[in-house]
Structure 1
Amino acid sequence: MSSSFASNVQTKAQEVAKEDYEKARVLLSEAAKSGSYLYPFKGIVYFITHRSLWKPFYSRILPTLGLTAGVTASMFFFTYLPQLAILVFVNGPLAVFTTVLLILNESSTIVNLISRNFLLQDALLDTFDGTLVAKDAVGIVSEGRQLKSGQDPIGRLGKILKNPFSKFTPKALVRYIMYLPLNFIPGVFPVVGREVTLFMAGFGTIATLLEMIPVASMFFAFTNTVGAALWAADIEQRNTQMTQGTAPQLRESAKKAE
């Protein structure tokens, strides 16, 4: 009886795994055809070549570097030896180096989580909206904030009427930690998240990999934001069905993709 039950469970599990694999395969194939994976790279080029968008980035460099130094130093001081003791059984002598890489990755994740919710949120919003203004997609921005006259896209940004960025909550933290390991497996996360679009499948994979790079993660957070804004501006200009939603919803969708 128990053997039959176990066999049925195994069969069902295999069916589910096969279905999820097919969904992921189709989703990634369509995402590749959409070209959404190119927007993180477009964001890098656009950000580097448009100095007018650098002000929010400059305003957060010192606080973020201080946070990075503090978190990294604390992680090495408190967790290096315990993690080394574990990894030495797996990696042998190489554990000395793999533990360092692991701590750098962990520190980068912690810094990214804290900085996005406490240090970079307003700066990333300004960068997103500033990019839209630079691309002349002011219709999207005007639904979420006041706009001033002038040539400087960042200087034109006025009072925020509706902030699309979700605030830091315990639930958001738990969800972030739960899904973090899935970001390392392209094709798995898009199946888990119901609200993941084709853009998030392509853009999100590349953006996540870029922001995993230690030290440079802050820079790529801004370039990914620019890339998401370029996507939103392109959709607005092409007047596709995706623009049928309200402008604030479009900004929110782009931020989630980022």
Structure 2
Amino acid sequence: MSSHISARAQQVLKEDIEQTLALAHNATKSRSYLYPFKGMLYFLTHTELWKPLRSKLIPYLTLYSGVLGSMFAVTYIPQLTLMAFVNGPFAVFTTAFLVVSESSTIVNLLARNYLLRDAIFDTFDGTLLSRNAGYLVAQGREVKTHGDVIERLGKMLRKPFTSFGINDLIRYLMYLPLNIVPVIGTVAFLFLRGRARAAHVHERYFQLKGWSISKREKWLKDHDGPYTAFGIVATVLEEVPLASILFSFTNTALWAADIEAQETSPIENIASRLLGAQGAK
């Protein structure tokens, strides 16, 4: 009996290791973890994309500083007392990371659903326009023919989905105690948080494509590795003050534009070959 259980345990462990390795391989191959950095660079070098953010920058800074200051004033000492039992002298740093993470979650919940909601979707759609995917944007809103990519954005035809909801907050609170375990717990926390982001990364893109819920779920399942890698990097970068707002605006749109280009390029290649063949005749 014990030998059977041991053999079964080894089989399960082997399967988990193989799945993890496959996940890591797919994530590395996709290079999706680079998009948070690409998003910031693209945002900084395309000044027309700054417009939706400009009017929201001061309110966002006020919100962020208010939440961060309040969290450190109210929760740092109580959490430090708890963390000191587990992390010893390192508790000073792990507790600070924890408070920043908690503050970022609160700010994201408020900013993405209220303060920055329209600005985020405007910049997402504007980025798609700048990457020659205007036909896709037109599935969700009116697109004008004159002006820069932001000025061309018209009335919304499809209401964008909520990017951060109560379920995300519940998951965050569930994963939060993992930070009590030194190093391994924090790594597990970042991994689970990153993986949980997968369902929201391309909600707007899926909406513009008109995909059904089942098709979205299949896509996310088939590309679990890339989305997890992207989510982990994006989660880590959110701990950097101000960085999260810059990364959030363009990274997912750039990735969506590249996915769209890969999906349409084979059709374009076939058309080119057909035209070439007709010309030869």
With the length of structure 1 as denominator, give the TM-score of the two structures: 0.76
Give the match's secondary structure for 2:71: helix
1:184 to 186, 190, 193: 190
Aligned residues, how many? Answer: 235
How big is the shift at 1:92? 3.7
Radius of gyration: which is bigger?
Answer: 2
Unaligned runs of 5+ in 2: 179-187, 200-216, 268-281
Quick one: distance in 1 between partners of 2:146 and 2:258? 23
1:203 has 2:230 as partner: yes
How many Å separate the matches in 2 of 1:227 and 1:188?
A: 15
Distance 1:128 1:140 in 2: 12
Matches within 5 A, 1:1-258: 8=5, 15-166=11-162, 169-178=165-174, 182=188, 184-185=190-191, 189=195, 195-196=220-221, 197=223, 198-222=225-249, 226-240=250-264
CA displacement at 1:58 relative to structure 2: 1.6
Could you report, residue by residue, the CA deviation over 1:191-246 in whole angstroms, capped at 9, with x for unpaired residues? x9863524313322222222232342222222xxx122122222333335999xxx
Unpaired segments of 5 or more residues in structure 1? 244-258
The answer to whether the 8 A contact 1:121-1:165 is kept is no
Conserved? CA contact 2:109–2:164, under 8 Å: no
In the alignment, the residues of structure 2 paired with residue 229 and residue 174 of structure 1 have an alpha-carbon distance, to the nearest angstrom, of: 26
Q: Does the CA contact (< 8 Å) of 1:235 and 1:242 recur in 2?
A: no
- Cα deviations across residues 49-97 of structure 1 (Å, max 9, x unaligned)? 1000001122221121111122112212221221122223234445444
Distance 1:179 1:22, change over 3 A: farther
Distance in structure 1 (CA, Å) of the matches to 2:103 and 2:141: 34
Three-state SS of the structure 2 residue aligned to 1:185 is helix
Aligned equivalents of 1:132 and 1:167: distance in 2?
18
Distance 1:131 1:99, change over 3 A: same
Alignment TM-score, normalising by the size of structure 2: 0.70
Q: CA deviation at 1:21?
A: 2.9
CA distance in 2: counterparts of 1:109 and 1:48, whole angstroms: 24
Contact 1:108 1:215 in 2 (8 A): no
Once structures 1 and 2 are overlaid, which stretch shifts more, 180-189 or 45-54? 180-189
Q: Aligned AA for 1:235?
A: I
TM-align CA RMSD: 3.3
